[in-house]
Each structure stands twice: as structure tokens, then as C-alpha cells.
Amino acid sequence: MAEKTIDHAITATDLKSTATDPTHAGVLSFMRRRYTKSLEGVDAVVWGIPFDAATSNRPGARFGPQAIRRASAIFDNDPQYPFQRDLFADMAVIDYGDCLLDYGNHWQTPETIETEATRILADADFLLTLGGDHFVTWPLLKAHVAKHGPLALVQFDAHQDTWFDDGKRIDHGSFVGRAVREGLIDPDRSIQIGIRTHAPDDCGIRIVYGHEVEEMRPGDISSLIVSHTGGMPVYLTFDIDCLDPAFAPGTGTPVAGGPSSAKILSVLRGLQQLDIRGADVVEVAPAYDHADITAIAGATVAMYMLGLNAERLARRR
């Protein structure tokens, strides 16, 4: 035990160092990464946005970042499956903590998120955000587009989120339509996977409905995503309600008839060719969860996003 330490999230001196915390103890950053506001020498940042005032059904996603961090403790520091590598051996990752929001002034929320995300992206190559409800993706997109230019949106979701709004609403069901109207995303290169509801407008975005996901092989879905985005820089957003409620009961607007976590993780694994510039995992609401099923799924999706980024960095280097 002499060589082991605990509370790696606050005691680590090297951003690429290995944590040895027991799974059941220690400070719960995401995957035991160091908690810090310093962005020096950082390749990727994990950041929480505990916001759920835009939900149209069950609230609770403000507790999503805490739940995802807690669930991520199950990942030890052996090579992560299926990437066959220590994700942090050559990728410096920090947990930046959470976005500070004023719960009494929600109209300030979009600007607060965008400003903080812009500050992070000024120094960090990759930002992975833990939501929070799906409204948070809109200000995140604004910050990413300011750095990278217009993006293709790859959205895993049960809902299109293309409902019309006046550009001022705080609404988790309209951010995609707003992003198209504002030119943040290219609808011709954007794609939604797992949709099991209807909205009045598809905004020209390619939709892979839930029943199509059921009938397709994971590799075919991955290939479709890669070909449809056409090499354009991508923002990847994952609403946990993309998964069937059997695999993600802890969410605000669950929809039956969705895919399994195993199938969608296989799809994500096949996205190595995507030029992913930023990503988020949203709508984990632990109050409705059972045995951390949803939080574990959300943490695993987030780990896969970091794994894909680790491979992207390896190719560049």
C-alpha cells in the first residue's frame, strides 16, 4: 500500500498520472482527474453544467454532473475497454468543476455558459461537458463555433429538439432549430440518431429513427454518420434518453422503444474517423435512476468520447 495514494483529484501533481483511489472512496472528479481551474498543458477538459430549468417534463438533470462523476469511479486505471489504452498516458485531462449559475436569473444562463466555455476553449483543445438538460448545448455550440467555425451536429436523442422558439426561450426542446437558424450548424451535414418522437420541422437534418436503429447494425450506423458528416468538424451531443428506458430510466423525458447501451456504445466506437471538436452528455436525472444504471451509461458514453479524442490526438502526434 505504500505506493498507493487517495484523493488523486486534489493530490495529483501530474495531469497524466495514474490514480490509485479505491473505487468506493476518494474525491469524485470525473475518472479521478485532477480538479483545477488551470488550463496550462491541458489537452482536454471535463466540465459540469448543473442546470435543468429548461426541462418540459421531469426536472433533476442539475444533479447529472454529480451522478456521472460518481459513476465514473468504476473506471480503474487499467487500459480502458474497448480502446486498449490508458486514456491519460498521452492525454492531459482535467476536471474543471462546474459552471456557477444564478438559479434566480435564468435569463443570464446562456451568456454565462457561453462566456465560461469560450474561456476554456481559448486554451483547451477539447471540451467535454456533463449536463444538465439539453438547453446547455446551444450556448456550448456558440462557443465552439466561435473557435472552429460552423459545425456538423451529431445528435443521439429520442427527440429532434427542433421546436420553434422566439430566440429568447430557455427551452431544451428547441436548441437544434435555433442553432440551424443562427448558422451554428450545417443541417445538410448534421444527423440525429434514435429519434422516437415527431416535431413540426426537421430543419433539413438527416434523421435515423428508433426503428431504423433497431434494424441496422452498429457498424452501418457508424458508417452512415461518418459519410453524412463528410469530413466536416463535428460537435457530438448525447442525450441519455436516446437509450431505451430499460437502460436509462433516470432521465426527464424517457421514450420507450430505444436502443440498448451496448448497441449505441458500439456505434460510438465506430466514429474514429469523425473530427470531433467538442462533446456533451446531457439529461441524466439521478432522482429517477435505479442502481446508478443511467449514471453508469452516461459516464461510459463520456469515457468513450475521451477515448475517441485520445485516438485523435495519437493520430495527430
- Residue at grid coordinates 476554456: 120
Query: Which are the contacts of 11, defined by CB distance < 8 A and separation ≥ 6?
Result: 5
52 annotated ligand binder? no
| Grid coordinates given for 102 | 444564478
| Grid coordinates given for 236 | 457530438
Would you tell me how many other CB atoms lie within 10 Å of the CB of residue 7?
16
106 annotated ligand binder? no
Pairing mode of beta strands 126-131, 276-282: parallel
**CB-based burial, 194-229: b 16+ in 10 Å, e otherwise:** bbbeebeebbebbbbbbeebeebebeebbbbbbebb
90 annotated ligand binder? no
Which of 176, 174, 188, 281 shows the shortest CA–CA distance to 236?
281
134 annotated ligand binder? yes
161 annotated ligand binder? yes
Query: Can you say which residues are annotated as belonging to the binding site for Mn(2+)?
Result: 134, 157, 159, 161, 239, 241
Binding residues are 134, 157, 159, 161, 239, 241
